[in-house]
Amino acid sequence: MQNGKPLSDSTQAFEQAAARSQEMQYVLRLYVTGMTPRSTEAFASIKAICEEHLNGRYDLEVIDIYQNPELAKEAQIIAAPTLVKELPEPLRKLIGNLSDDERVLRVLDVRPKE
């Protein structure tokens, strides 16, 4: 017994919570500066990470701050590339080099595949 419930109920609740976390949809925005090598590298890195760890559970919008400066201003983007995790909450931002998979996964609150 744990907290007045049989242990099997606690285990079942944990397994259900884990299953729900595997179904969460991620909404990401990547702010870049044109088609520079740094921007294309950031996009390729994020796309690869998403395909490997969030396959089918993410929406990635790429925003060129040269073409849409008002969107960057609204989101308070001060540097590029910047990755913004809108959902699931909490909102998180990652600025700069996006090629470090472990760092990106930490910001996204995603556990790496084993």
Q: Is residue 35 in some structural domain?
A: yes
Task: Identify which has the larger pLDDT, 14 or 54.
Answer: 54
- Structure pTM? 0.78
Distance CA(109)–CA(88), nearest Å, equals: 9
In tens, the pLDDT along 75-97 reads 999 999 999 999 999 999 999 98
Grouping H, G, I as helix, E, B as strand and the rest as coil, residue 14 is: helix
CATH number, position 102: 3.40.30.10
Total tally of structural domains belonging to the chain: 1
Q: Is residue 16 in some structural domain?
A: no
Q: How far is CA 104 from the centre of its chain?
A: 7
Residues 81/65, Cβ–Cβ less than 8 Å: no
